[in-house]
Structure 1
Amino acid sequence: MRPAGRLTTVTCVILGITAATSRAALLTSPAQLSSSKKYDYIVVGAGPGGSPVASRLSEDPKVNVLLIEAGPSDQGVLDIQNPFLAGGLQGSPFDWNYTTTAQKGLNGHTVAYARGHVLGGSSSINLMVWTRGSRDDFNTYASVSGDSGWSWNSIQKYFLKAERFVPPTDGHDVTGQINLKIHGTNGPVNLTVANAVLPTDSHVIATTQELAEFPFNVDSNSGDPLGVGWILGAYGNGVRSSASSSYIDPFLSRKNLDVLVETTATKLVQTGTTKGLPAFRAVEVQQSSTSKNYTLHATKEIILSAGTINTPKILLLSGIGPASQLRSLGIKPLVDNSNVGQNLVDHPRLSNQFGVLNVSDDVTDTVLRNTTLFNELLGEWMNTNPHQGVFASSGANQIGWLRIPDSDPIWKTVKDPSSGPTSPHIEFLFSPGNVPNPGEVALPDTGNFFTISTVVVSPSSRGSVTLASKDPFVSPIIDPNFLNTTFDAYALNYAARASGRFVSAPNWKGFVTGQAGPFAEVDLTSDESINTWVREKTSTIWHPVGTARMGTCKDKKSVVGPDLRVKGVDGVRIVDASVLPNVPAAHPQAAVYVFSERAADLIKKGSCVC
């Protein structure tokens, strides 16, 4: 959530001197595939859903796996590798660069909707925050699916299997920043706490001792996330740990794992019937709207991991979805399921800026305004092993999770949308710099800032993904329906006020000067003023889930069953964030990784629940 333009300009200058990580060659065209090789599994999408499942399935040398990614390779891309530069990736060539429909709850504004268009998917362009979610989140998944294997206690072995804690590169003692006993040490995904001290660190932590409203939590990944504590990030040794670098790059030498990039899956192809159900064990792919069309076959399964936006798009293009909608676009319905593309749920975000007295306390803006300093810090990162300095961290060291109190009057009129008492309603992210909202100057010429980004993490609004055309290269219609319920709007209003209370703690005196930037015009005592601020400035933190939701075998409102097989068809399974029935009150990448880890086991065992 940092300015993209400034970072991209500098990065382009220095990419030429950045050494690319050694890596086996990737296939860049379907024409390079062997005509004699048969694939057991074809996985579409190389994000935190597809990459782990492809990697785990290919652990068996007798199983051939093809992983297809629409975007390019992430090899040697400095902005992806370097944690501090992550904010420049939204809106870059590694982003699908989608845009939502005009949002009624946001006074008609559209929202830029970043999704990863690169090997590693959104794990290659996100802000790397690793949060498991609450025990109530996963127990709800178990309840909704009727499968206890998705419960908090059952899923823990997969968190441990995925994680590898890496000590921070500055060598500091992590006591009080993480509970090492609950984390994995041998998994593929590197995780760490802050590699560099930020000026705001001591103030954020001190506030937890001064204001009872914001208690300290040593590790929000315990299943009980409520409170304020240190961020655990998906990077290690000063380098991003993506689905690509964790699950694909180390295993490209496997002869039974082929990775095809720059290739778009346009639709699934029916290959027959199984017990009266249409079977889909082939997928059509193209590299552009004018390029040759290829049909690739799998002997066992097609695994869709194209993400919350593109997985339903592929299903709809394949004739799997609401029959009337498909007919209106000239697509023959093969499986009538009105739930495909519905239940889109995402986390709305709002940045609230405060001024800081000293220039050096605004780390982000100070660095971005000073090319000499920028290059010095980048040089420090590049010339140290493991990488050190400010550029070895993501730029935000603490995170907070809060619930609206049970005594709040909102509960007299609305039902609590969270999954349970351990799940927060609101998230705080603390940044030593300006984090702009839509329509604001990304990098102001003057002023020094501390930003508290507020997020509704248990929203009740639901939206949809639908087709605009039967042309697979036309973007779908994305409507997250932000702030379309009383609760969601109220929660963000509550969060904006709470951010003001946070910096009222005594330790901020002499550090924070008060509300700043556009937020300076907001009267926190006025419902009207805050509501105007919320409706005009809210966007997203890019956590869409739910468009192919999981349910029990008999649940007619779901798209996949407990084993993630697509209902009404044979040969297709979905493994990505689209299957989550509700958005976790967390950054969802960790949940997607463990869903993929368990899905790989289910596939290996040949599990068929429904």
Structure 2
Amino acid sequence: MVSDTYDIVIVGGGTAGLIIAARLSEDPNLQVTVLESGEDQSSNPHVQTPGTWPLLRNGPLDWAFKSSFPSAGGVKPLSMAQGCMLGGTSGINGFVFQPSSKSNLDFWTELGNNGWGFETMDRAVRKAVTIHRPSGGTSEGSGPIQLVVNESEIEAMWVKTWIDSLAELGHSPCDAFSGTQRGPITNFDTVDPVSNNRSFTANAYLDPVRSRANLTILTGSTVNKVVFKEDNVGGTPIADGVLVTSKYGKKSIVKARKEVILSAGVINSPRILELSGIGDKSRLQRLGIDVVVDNPHVGENFQNHAFSGVVFPVRDDVETLDAFLRQEPSAVAAAQETYAAGRGGPIGRSSTLSSAQMPLSEVTDEQGMKEIEQLLKDAASVPAGPSIATPAFKKAWDSYIKSNLTSSTESPGRFMFFAGYSPFEAKDITYRAPGNHFTIVVMLSTPFPRGSVHIESSSHEHSDKNTGMTLDVGFPAHPLDVEILARYIMFAEKTLARLKPFASLLKPRKENEDRFTDIEKAREYVRATTGWSHHFVGTCSMMSQEMGGVVDDKLRVYGCSNLRVCDASIIPVVPRSNPQAVVYGLAEHGAEIIRDTMV
């Protein structure tokens, strides 16, 4: 079997993997290689053009994982998108870049992660980006990833509408990077304002350094497992390299003189660990895999955001994105003109215009808070979904959930605003209603249940496929989650929709037109319409061993001397918003840790 040798072997050329490769290869004395199962799609127009990102889901650039159990309606498995290409999910996602809150990131330190927390992550996230303010304002930072806001007339009008409307509730615009996320936030998108192309790790981090003599990128190379040194009997396992299968079916071993770093994502990183003999002893033995490290927490603690939303009819004379969504020729032509002029629009940006975070105490009454607190007490005595947890972690998790739900400053729910129709109540998700609409999405920022992902076969034939695994992801929503979403949904209709100037843009409402006459109606609506985001984290959590961690705060896999994980799977608790910004930060900080503590 042919083998090549490098100092650093990085498994996965996705969002985190390419950042680590770019940073570590700054040292010309280190030979670094990246092994990516997908291909280089840097020149693919659907990847480059922001508005075509929905076309990338469930296609050849998506691993297209599916949950092993049906959705809340019992109709079909849940879709679990993950990029399969250089750049990974940063090349197929929906662009929104919003750092998490201070309380969320500081909670990491309570789980045993010294040297992390908000201040560390804030510095690391800022290192990754350059922020371009609207209308030719001065840019901030010098990082590879370019951040912009949508400047087209339609989108800018709706952003202003929400800033002015939420001012009626006493909320001022919030800086997304402040750490104290409360009130309206104008969303940044990962788009280059000069080229108008997606800004992601393949073109922002990798392209400028591709010519480095000490950096090797191997695409079409699927890692089956980590290979450990055979002459280290009885000692701490030492990673010797990885077993790789090429796209042509050829197997080889790529050896590592110093470190093997898994950056294969929330599903593939625990899969590789288990195939390598690191995981729950009973599961591995049942599959005939030799146990290298017995750790039952590999693949556990899976978390994700759930969401629902309500749609409001908008006056015919008020512009929305509906005509573009229906692909009406005049609207498509106008969008193309806006994109060509570099002003964003639905082709040039995500069109998830803005968001807002508000404490639960602001969206429900005293009786509602009492009901939430009772559900909290009930939840404390039962497992949080299918994931196992140590007593220490469960105690910390329950305390964290309670603090978020009862806080006067923290927000367990996040509103996202979209100037168009969203098919929450339609049987066909591709349906686009006639007329103009506005959607208020409510995303559950702190979901209660946690799930798990595990291999169900030791065969390497599954390694480049979305098969051979059980993805028990903790869905449908827990009763506590349903209650929180229902309270936010009611607030959206009964309060937000009545704020000026937003209310003045809606079609007049008829008497008794409210969908939610009482909280039970809102609960029924949430149970029927709750969807699933693609914000997966947690399956190789960075926590102390007492808490049930898989890696320590130096990213080392417990029980191994030179094997690390650095991707979204190490995030121990789901971020308050889209996790993209957090992944950029953990990869930047992770690269520094690896460089400073390398064997």
Query: Shared fold (TM-score greater than 0.5)?
Result: yes
Output aligned runs, 1:553-564, within 5 Å.
554-555=545-546, 557-564=548-555
1:432 aligned residue (394, 419, 426)? 419
Which residue, 526, 529, 546 being the options, matches 1:537? Answer: 529
Q: 1:74 offset after TM fit, Å?
A: 2.0
Alpha-carbon displacement from aligned partner over 1:151-190 (angstroms, at most 9, x marks no partner): 212333212211211244xx3669xxxxx8xxx5111111
User: More deviation in 490-499 or 404-413?
Assistant: 404-413
The structure 2 residue matched to 1:361, chosen from 310, 315, 319, is 319
CA distance in structure 1 between the aligned counterparts of 2:547 and 2:338, rounded to whole angstroms: 56
**Which amino acid in 1 is paired with 2:543?**
G
The AA in structure 1 aligned to 2:356 is: G
Aligned residue among 548, 560, 580 for 2:571? 580
CA distance in structure 2 between the partners assigned to 1:388 and 1:471 by the alignment: 46
Amino acid at match of 1:310: N
SS at match of 2:119: helix
Amino acid at match of 1:464: S
Tell me the residue number matched to 2:469: 476
Alpha-carbon distance change, 535 to 343 in structure 1, aligned in 2, over 3 angstroms: same
Contact kept, 8 Å, 1:354 with 1:514, in 2: the verdict is no
**Correspondences of 1:163-182 after superposition (within 5 Å):** 163-168=129-134, 171=135
Q: Give the direction of change, closer, same or farther, for the CA distance of 1:460–1:330 in structure 2 (3 Å limit).
A: same
Indicate whether 1:511 and 2:505 are aligned. Answer: yes
Deviation at 1:484, TM superposition (A): 4.2
Q: Tell me what 1:465 maps to.
A: 453
Aligned to 1:456: 444
C-alpha displacement of 1:97: 1.1
Partners of 2:159 and 2:327 lie apart in 1 by 22
Please name the residue that 1:9 is paired with: none
Distance 1:515 1:145, change over 3 A: farther
Once the two structures are superposed, the pairs formed by residues 145-294 of structure 1 within 5 Å of their partners are: 145-147=112-114, 149-168=115-134, 171=135, 184-197=140-153, 198=155, 199-212=157-170, 215-237=171-193, 238-272=196-230, 273=232, 276-288=235-247, 291-294=249-252
Contact 1:196 / 1:393 at 8 angstroms: preserved in 2? no
Q: Which amino acid in structure 1 is aligned with residue 453 of structure 2?
A: V
Distance 1:514 1:542 in 2: 35
Q: Deviations over 1:90-114 (max 9, x none)?
A: 2232211111122575557521111
Quick one: which amino acid aligns to residue 210 of structure 2?
L
SS at match of 1:405: helix
In 1: Cα distance, 2:270 partner to 2:159 partner:
41
**Equivalent position SS for 2:498:** coil
Change (3 A) 1:46 1:200: same
Q: Distance in 2 between matches of 1:111 and 1:522?
A: 30
Distance 1:41 1:502, change over 3 A: same
Q: Is the 8 A contact 1:365 1:434 kept in 2?
A: no
Q: Deviations over 1:27-63 (max 9, x none)?
A: xxx99xxx7x631111111222111111100001111
Distance 1:548 1:482 in 2: 20
Q: Secondary structure at the match of 2:26?
A: coil
| Structure 1 pair 379–261 and aligned structure 2 pair: CA distance change class (3 A) | farther
In 1, distance between residues paired with 2:208 and 2:127? 16
Matches within 5 A, 1:275-354: 276-288=235-247, 291-354=249-312
Check conservation: 1:350, 1:538, Cα contact below 8 A.
yes
Q: Secondary structure at the match of 2:226?
A: strand
The answer (yes or no) to whether the contact 2:423–2:432 under 8 Å persists in 1 is no
> 8 Å contact 1:226–1:424 — kept in the other structure?
yes
TM-score after normalising by structure 1: 0.84
Q: What is the CA–CA distance in structure 1 between the aligned matches of 2:239 and 2:56, rounded to whole Å?
A: 35
Q: Is the 8 A contact 1:103 1:479 kept in 2?
A: no
Contact 2:325/2:432, CA 8 A, preserved across alignment: no
Deviation at 1:306, TM superposition (A): 0.7
Counterpart check, 1:493 vs 2:477: no
Cα drift, residue 362 of structure 1: 2.4
State the AA in 2 paired with 1:430.
Answer: F
Identity of aligned residues (%): 28
1:118 to 85, 95, 102: 85
Supply the distance in 2 between the matched residues of 1:351 and 1:440 (Cα, whole angstroms). 16
Would the alpha carbon gap of residues 113 and 521 (structure 1) be closer, same or farther in structure 2, given more than 3 Å must change?
farther
Say if 1:42 and 1:441 are closer, same or farther in 2 by CA, change over 3 A.
Answer: same
- CA shift at 1:235, angstroms? 1.8
Distance (Å, rounded) in 2 between the aligned partners of 1:541 and 1:441: 15
Q: What is the aligned residue count? A: 555
Q: Distance in 1 between matches of 2:78 and 2:577?
A: 21
CA distance in 1, matches of 2:515, 2:566: 45
Task: Provide the C-alpha distance between the structure 1 equivalents of 2:257 and 2:410, rounded to a whole number of angstroms.
Answer: 42
Change (3 A) 1:260 1:69: same
1:340 and 1:157 map into 2 onto residues whose CA distance is 29
**In 1, Cα distance between equivalents of 2:357 and 2:55:** 26
d(CA) in 2 for partners of 1:371, 1:257: 46
Contact 2:422 2:439 in 1 (8 A): yes
| 2:14 match | 47
- The CA deviation string for residues 496-540 of structure 1, in whole angstroms up to 9 with x for no partner, is 112212112132334223799xxx998312333322322222222
Listed as ranges, the gaps of 5+ residues in structure 2 are: 377-397
1:594 aligns with 2:585: yes
Alignment deviations for residues 460-487 of structure 1 (CA, whole Å, 9 cap, x no partner): 1110001132234225222221344332
Structure 2 matches for 1:401-420, cutoff 5 A? Answer: 401-405=357-361, 407=366, 408-409=369-370, 410-414=372-376, 417=401
Three-state SS of the structure 2 residue aligned to 1:459 is: coil
Cα distance in structure 1, aligned partners of 2:427 and 2:9: 42
Deviations 1:372-410 (A, max 9, x none): 5425533653x55x5655422221221111221185221
